Structure 1
Amino acid sequence: MKNQAIPIRYGFFIAAALIVYFLLLSLLGLHTNPYFSLFNAVITGVGIYWCIKKYQEYKGVKFKYQKGFMAGIVSGFIATFVFTLFFGIYATNFDATFLNEIAQGRRAENNISVAAILFVVATMGFASSLIITFSFMQFFKSSWNTKETNKNIAS
């Protein structure tokens, strides 16, 4: 597997997991409750973690922070784009009352536009991907606190 394919593959895995989770909530009638969308960050986090881990295994010792960060960001952004596309198709074609149910739950006006909802979904996904990737890269980056570095500093 080439290193460019790792984030793309994991991005589609994350998107598929998000879609399955949303459809499961939809079957249970819970898809309009915004509190269940918090689990989206968990799904995205697990996917980004495994993407970075797989990328690190592929690169081995020469794992660079920037490349690992880009792998996590790309996988998260692909997942966000695919899920936002699915969300738009679902809200406009499969459940005509979905947007009204969201508006009633938030005490908003009944005429929420699809574009506004998609903007919020995409922004939340991109922001979550950025924060999660940055957080996980703290675990994967190389430490500067090595015997070699301490020896050079003490001199």
Structure 2
Amino acid sequence: MDKLSIPVKYGVAIAAGLIAYFLILSLLGLHVNPVFSLFNGVIMAYGMFEAIKHYRLHKGDKFKYQKGFMASLLTGFNATIIFTLFFGIYATELKPDFLNRLITVWETGYNTHIGIVLFVVAVMGFATTLVLTLAYLQLFKDSWNTKEAKKHSL
């Protein structure tokens, strides 16, 4: 198995889940309310957990914290980049009035453009990825508090 296949496969799956959720919200007219983006974190959390679990199972005893960290980061970054690209296409090509409807929920005194909105979407995805990676790898790393680990350190 290629070492990038898990981050790519799960990154695309997470992005597909995020896009599907966004499109469902769009059909219901709820996609302009930013509070619904909180569920994006749940989608991202589930997908990244599954990716790290799969990577850990694939590596077995050869699982290293650093490699798991990179696999998890790449998974989240792939999902974030794909979703941000979709969001940009949606907001500029598919529904050009979407940005105006989204911004009216917030203060309208700012001169907000699509670039700033895409930057915020990307930063939110990258931040979520980093936090989830650090949290999940605490679950998947080997403990140093076992008898075997103490024997190896002597």
Normalised-by-shorter TM-score class = over 0.9
1:96 counterpart residue number: 96
1:138 counterpart residue number: 138
1:6 counterpart residue number: 6
1:27 counterpart residue number: 27
1:2 & 1:102 partners in 2: Cα distance?
A: 40
Structure 1 pair 128–54 and aligned structure 2 pair: CA distance change class (3 A) = same
2:98 maps to 1:67: no
1:61 & 1:49 partners in 2: Cα distance?
A: 19
2:98 & 2:37 partners in 1: Cα distance?
A: 15
2:45 counterpart residue number: 45
1:125 counterpart residue number: 125
Q: Percent identity?
A: 55
TM-score normalised by length of structure 2: 0.94
Structure 1 pair 110–90 and aligned structure 2 pair: CA distance change class (3 A) = farther
2:16 counterpart residue number: 16
CA drift at 1:109: 3.5
Structure 1 pair 152–137 and aligned structure 2 pair: CA distance change class (3 A) = closer
Structure 1 pair 96–109 and aligned structure 2 pair: CA distance change class (3 A) = farther
- Deviation track 1:3-52 (CA, whole Å, cap 9, x = no partner) reads 32111110000001000000000000000111110111110111110000
**Residue 100 of structure 1 contacts residue 111 of structure 1 at CA under 8 Å; is this kept in 2?**
no
**Residue 8 of structure 1 contacts residue 75 of structure 1 at CA under 8 Å; is this kept in 2?**
yes
CA drift at 1:147: 1.4
**Residue 103 of structure 1 contacts residue 110 of structure 1 at CA under 8 Å; is this kept in 2?**
no
1:139 & 1:6 partners in 2: Cα distance?
A: 19
2:83 maps to 1:76: no
- The one-letter amino acid of 2:23's match is L
1:54 counterpart residue number: 54
- The one-letter amino acid of 2:108's match is A
2:152 & 2:136 partners in 1: Cα distance?
A: 29
CA drift at 1:77: 0.1
